Amino acid sequence: MADKNDILADKILSSIEPDILTGIQADATEEEAPLTENYPQPDASYSHKDTLTLEVDGTPVTRRLNDWVRYDPVTLHKAMGSVPFLIARDDYRILMSTLRANNIEYYRRAVGLDILVDITGKGQEVAAKSLYNYEPTKFYKWWSSHENKVYMTTREKIQLFLKVESIKSGTLLKKHVELMNNLRMASKKQD
């Protein structure tokens, strides 16, 4: 059953000329103007309403920043690395949150040791880099059973193994000891 407001709205709409409605309906029927190309400029700053043109599979695509975050955050993040431009703090947080939620492998590789981890299991996250630098043995023991949670380059792994080995011999897992021995033998052969 229609309430009073529905009846009143129908009465008003039926009594006015169609030309008067065009201003009210403009939002629903008006098409957006095409976006103009706007390649990111080094050291420029952009917010969610700004347009950016980025290459996707060799083709320039222009979208608003918030649409890049929503539909292709990886391309946006990669572009930020190749052309150093800035986005507003809130937009950056949303971008990183979107990457973490929807593209976790890319996110781990992009963030590396800057990722926040909870090694105690008590919900207290800390930057992996901090543990890596200041508590390498503790970090290694946690990381060796959670290798998929933190991406480290080969160089970072070797440095970690060397630190841990120098602090407390016998801590490294057998597979890491073998890796280090193989690397040492390979480097001796090159000398």
Q: How far apart are CA 162 and CA 177, in angstroms?
A: 10
- Read off the pLDDT of residues 21-47 as tens digits, 9 standing for 90 and up: 444 444 444 456 678 888 999 989 999
The more confident residue out of 93 and 14 is 93
Instruction: List residues bridging with 111 in a β-sheet.
Output: none
Q: Contact, 52 vs 62, CB < 8 A? A: yes
Q: Name the pTM for this structure.
A: 0.70
3-state class of 180 per DSSP? helix
- Read off the pLDDT of residues 108-165 as tens digits, 9 standing for 90 and up: 999 999 999 998 888 889 999 999 999 999 999 999 999 999 999 999 999 999 999 9
User: Mind giving me the DSSP string for 32-87?
Assistant: PPPPPP-PPPTT-EE-TTSEEEEEETTEEEEEEHHHHHHH-HHHHHHHHHHS--EE
